[in-house]
Amino acid sequence: MSDIEAVWSASPVDAAAMFGLGAYFRNLLTDSEHLVSVPVTPVVYQDSTFRFGGALDAPRATVWSEFCELVNRVPTQPTWAPPSTVHLWGIYGEVLGADLARSTLTPEEHQRYDTAVAYLYDTGPDGVFVPSPALRDYRTARQTWLQADTDYHQAEQTATMSTDPAARDHWTHVDEPRLRQARDDAMDAWQTAGHKAEVEDALRETSELASKAPSSIWKRHRDTFNPNLPDQYTTAPNGTRFAPTYYSPDGALDDPWSRVVLSDDMLRTLAAQAPAELKSAFGDRATDDTVFSLAFEYRVVSVVRPWLDPPMELFASRAWRLSSGVAPLSDGATPPHGRCPSYVESVALARNVELIRQAVGYTQTPGETTLHGTWTLDLDNGIAGGDMNTADLWWEWMTETTAQLVPSSHAGIVNLGQVDYDAFDGHRLSTLTYGSTPLTGNPNAGNQLVTGDVFAVRTTEGRFAKVQVVQYGYDLQLRWVAYQQATSAMQSMVTGPDDVFLAGFVCRQLPKSPDPDPALSW
């Protein structure tokens, strides 16, 4: 293998890299509650403008509004192709206007609910609810643990997919204990400084009592942000309106990022595991076997919506219903379907994406011959009728209905049928799967060797050949081109140092919504 011959910077990222990133994050971040939506075309921002803290100048305000609009679209899976006309704040407005069950809270339960809410939220200077210090500490510590847990599973996945014994050994004896300890430390911090038990008890209390007091909960959400009132939106520099949305932690661009290196074997495994719809969206780019490796840095950041906090308090509640005839948000199936079966909960960011390709060249040796009955053909040197022990193929004609073309024990063959002979070259031939099953020839419909058919051969010396049947019969006329791999060159494509890619949208699936409880009083 030669050294890397060229390094150049390009943005947006190559389509093969986009598929690799998407397939990787889909594999890593999909679980029973989450689906990953993969953008087919790059979504990229500059580091300097992808920062939403403090006073925003015009470029950062524009990017912020674009981010808010993007992550509040109702997502599609597995590819990211949502319409820009339906947003989560519009769906939220429908839910805030839904029919509610009557409150059945007892005075004691009302006190418990108020206590839990007071622990989780404070009232801001403008009179709306904001997360309390305990809830903010909880979310910060949770995000740190989620990153540590993602790093652990990422390294585990990489080691599992690797065919290198040294890589697996390094995982077992070095990375696994180190990353497990980091994850355990993050959990300890979450449980102590992050008030994990106390916050989750309060969240559980509000969730359990919510169905008994929907009017109080709906009022709290309306007081925080009512999407049905136009003056509650923020206005972008271009005049469009949006609901403020952020990512957390807000210092993610300056924190350490994890680095991943995917070999060609790993990329092929990810491609094989990807859903057909995702591979179809990328076409041939999904299985680009010129790719030698893909490396990148990544962070997974949470999407924070101060105006919808927490989302599942409403969407998962069974104390509301839509008007008769209005389509549900989610049917609760696996995966769910509906007008809003999921929403973006976090985003996988990637940067410093490096795609290394192995540019393979081939020398070509054409030939043509006629095989007479029981003759052999050596495609490595073009000799017909030679030694059976060194030949690649044996044309065996016994009767008109019992003829076959047999590969030698050291060669392989695959029938391509009536295809464009000129469309196949060494690169395409090298990606085929070759077998030892003979190609049969006879006059009926089972004939695999009719005039014009094309088949491919992996020769005894490792060349790849395309062969076309010029005329079928006892005298089998063939023409071919044998390809031999020449010296390969390595080329590297590296994205710009300031590019930040939104490489995967991690979407929280909704349960059946609405799912009104008939036991409640309506």
Mark whether 174 and 239 lie in a shared domain. no
Question: Are 179 and 253 in a shared domain?
Answer: no
> Residue 455 belongs to what H/E stretch?
strand 454-458
**Residue 357 contacts residue 292 (beta carbons within 8 Å):** yes
Q: Are residues 304 and 384 in the same domain?
A: no
465 touches 457 (CB < 8 A) = yes
* Strand arrangement of the beta sheet that strand 402-407 belongs to: 383-384, 375-378, 393-399, 402-407, 439-441
In 3-state terms, what secondary structure has residue 129?
strand
How does pLDDT run along the chain (522 residues), one tens digit per residue? 334 443 434 445 788 999 999 999 999 999 999 999 999 999 999 999 999 999 999 999 999 999 999 999 999 999 999 999 999 999 999 999 999 999 888 999 989 989 999 999 998 777 778 899 999 999 999 999 999 999 999 999 889 888 888 888 999 999 999 999 999 999 999 999 999 999 999 999 988 887 788 998 898 889 889 898 888 899 999 999 999 999 999 999 999 999 999 998 899 899 989 999 999 998 877 777 788 899 999 999 999 999 998 899 899 999 999 998 899 999 999 999 999 999 999 999 999 999 998 877 889 999 999 999 889 999 999 999 888 788 999 999 988 778 999 999 999 999 998 999 998 988 889 888 899 999 988 766 666 788 899 999 999 999 999 999 999 989 999 999 999 987 677 888 899 999 999 999 999 999 999 999 998 889
Q: Identify each DSSP E strand in 16-165 by its residue range.
A: 34-37, 44-46, 99-100, 121-123, 129-131
Whether omega before 83 lies within 30 degrees of 0, making that bond cis, reads no
326 and 253 belong to one structural domain: yes
Phi, then psi, of 197 in degrees rounded to 5? -65, -45
Q: Which of 212, 239, 273 is the last residue of a domain?
A: 212
Domain presence at residue 258: yes
- Predicted local distance difference test score (pLDDT) of residue 6: 37
The pLDDT of residue 291: 87
Same domain flag for 481 and 492: no
* 85: containing domain: 12-97+230-360+488-522
Do both 414 and 493 map to the same domain?
A: no
Q: Is residue 439 domain-shared with residue 317, that is, in the same domain?
A: no
Q: Are residues 355 and 497 in the same domain?
A: yes
Is 350 a member of any domain? yes
Domain-embedded: residue 156: yes
Go through 486-508 and write b for each residue having 16 or more CB atoms within 10 A of its CB, e for each that does not: eeebbbbbbbbeebbbbbbbbbb
In terms of domains, do 127 and 90 share one? no
As a whole number of angstroms, the distance between CA 114 and CA 129 comes to: 13
CB 454 within 8 A of CB 421: yes
Same domain, 410 and 469: yes
Sequence-distant (≥ 6) Cβ neighbours of residue 241 within 8 angstroms? 230, 233, 234, 235
Tell me how many domains the chain contains. 3
Residue that finishes a domain, picked among 181, 212, 243: 212
Q: By three-state DSSP, how is residue 412 classified?
A: strand
Domain contains 224: no
423 domain residue, yes or no: yes
- Six-digit token pair at 383? 């000799």
Is 405 a member of any domain? yes
Report pLDDT for 72: 98
Q: Structure pTM?
A: 0.75
Q: How far apart are CA 219 and CA 211, in angstroms?
A: 14
If asked whether residues 57 and 173 sit together in one domain, one would say no
What letter would DSSP give residue 78? Answer: S
481 and 494 belong to one structural domain: no
Q: Kindly state whether residue 3 falls inside one of the protein's structural domains.
A: no
Q: Which of 86, 72, 25 is nearest to 344 (CA)?
A: 72
Report the pLDDT value the prediction gives residue 96, as an integer from 0 to 100: 94
